[in-house]
């Protein structure tokens, strides 16, 4: 990921003395790990899970990154993954979307086993979208062309156009700039375009990796408002990773702390926000 200095940790906004190194955070985080039975995850999801991951072992090449990882989230709910750099948070999203090697375990969405589907099958047949982050907008193409790119898997261009129109109706900021090259967009508008591009496929599940990265505070708030709207008004199920643990946990119904490829803590977002260990390690206090 471009533009982030890993040596500085990334969770802290506090004074210099409160900053722990990345390694220290990982080590300390290992100590707070709890064993969490899947029944607890089910209870947290509050009923019927829409996305279920069971005992997943997955990684890249032959290297296993996620060990025995399980997850439950109900339809129209949101879940935020936090944890140290390199814990495997993005790998969870990659695994749901089909970018990793899955050695064992299963992933189900809406009762359907999607463990072995390819990313394009996930998008087209299982209504799962992965929101690309960090400069995935094509600067020389117009806003409209960028948006239509999101519909390349739709069977008819007409369908993609219709859903692009729905996005423009929803977001006048983009509609006003539809014929302009995407390079004129502000950072926040670009992020809006990245999110909107995923919406053209009309997904049920949105996988969002670090929506606030690289944005100034007013744009961060805008992005979280858009995500809240997608969850609460449109009933999308959202699974996100967020370095800004405070924002992520304030937003999400459920929070998971991932450490070294394993689930270390799980609870309602608001509960993790007030957990002293989470505060010390991930909230800079």
Ligand X SMILES: Nc1ncnc2c1ncn2[C@@H]1O[C@H](COP(=O)(O)OP(=O)(O)OP(=O)(O)O)[C@@H](O)[C@H]1O
Q: Is 90 in the site for Mg ion (CB under 5 A)?
A: yes
Q: How far is the CB of 89 from ligand X (least distance, A)?
A: 3
C-alpha 268/C-alpha 74 separation (Å) is 13
C-alpha 201/C-alpha 152 separation (Å) is 9
**Helices 187-199 and 217-232, interaxial angle, to 10°?**
20
**Neighbouring-strand partners of residue 265:** 257
Residues that bind ligand X (CB under 6 A): 60, 65, 83, 85-91
- The option from Mg ion, ligand X, none interacting with 163 (CB < 5 to 8 A, set by class) reads none
- The option from Mg ion, ligand X, none interacting with 60 (CB < 5 to 8 A, set by class) reads ligand X
Q: Is 244 in the site for Mg ion (CB under 5 A)?
A: no
- The option from Mg ion, ligand X, none interacting with 151 (CB < 5 to 8 A, set by class) reads none
| Contact between 141 and 150 (Cβ < 8 Å) | no
Angle at 128 between CA 168 and CA 70, to 5 degrees: 140
Q: How far is the CB of 244 from Mg ion (least distance, A)?
A: 13
- Nearer to Mg ion by Cβ, of 144 and 194: the residue is 194
| Residue carrying the six token digits 């948006």 | 147
Query: Strand 112-113 to strand 101-109: parallel, antiparallel, or no bridges (unpaired)?
Result: antiparallel
Coil, strand or helix at 257: strand
- The option from Mg ion, ligand X, none interacting with 249 (CB < 5 to 8 A, set by class) reads none
- Nearer to ligand X by Cβ, of 101 and 142: the residue is 101
Coil, strand or helix at 73: strand
Spell out, one character per residue from 20 to 59, where the chain touches Mg ion: x when CB under 5 A holds, - when not: ----------------------------------------
Q: Is 91 in the site for Mg ion (CB under 5 A)?
A: no
Residues that bind Mg ion (CB under 5 A): 90
């Amino acid at each position: 990921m471009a533009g982030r200095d890993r040596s500085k940790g990334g969770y802290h906004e506090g004074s210099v003395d409160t900053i722990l190194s990345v390694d220290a955070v990982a080590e300390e985080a290992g100590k707070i790990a709890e064993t969490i039975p899947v029944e607890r995850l089910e209870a947290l999801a509050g009923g019927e899970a829409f996305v279920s991951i069971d005992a997943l072992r997955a990684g890249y090449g032959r290297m296993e990154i996620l060990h025995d990882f399980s997850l439950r989230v109900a339809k129209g709910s949101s879940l935020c993954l936090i944890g140290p750099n390199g814990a495997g948070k993005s790998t969870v999203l990659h695994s749901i979307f089909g970018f990793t090697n899955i050695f064992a375990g299963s992933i189900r969405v809406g009762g359907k086993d999607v463990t072995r589907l390819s990313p394009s099958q996930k998008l087209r047949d299982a209504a799962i979208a992965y929101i690309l982050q960090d400069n995935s907008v094509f600067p020389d193409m117009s806003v409209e062309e960028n948006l239509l790119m999101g519909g390349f898997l739709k069977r008819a261009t007409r369908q993609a156009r219709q859903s692009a129109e729905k996005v423009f109706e929803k977001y006048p900021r983009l509609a006003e700039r539809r014929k302009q090259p995407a390079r004129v967009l502000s950072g926040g508008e670009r992020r809006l375009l990245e999110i909107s591009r995923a919406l053209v496929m009309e997904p049920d599940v949105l996988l969002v990796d670090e929506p606030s990265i690289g944005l100034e505070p007013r744009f961060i708030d805008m992005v979280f408002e858009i995500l809240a709207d997608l969850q609460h008004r449109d009933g999308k199920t959202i699974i996100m990773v967020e370095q800004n643990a405070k924002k992520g946990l304030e937003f999400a119904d459920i929070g998971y702390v991932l450490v070294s490829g394993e689930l270390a803590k799980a609870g309602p977002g608001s509960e993790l926000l007030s957990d002293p260990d989470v505060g010390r390690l991930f909230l800079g206090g």
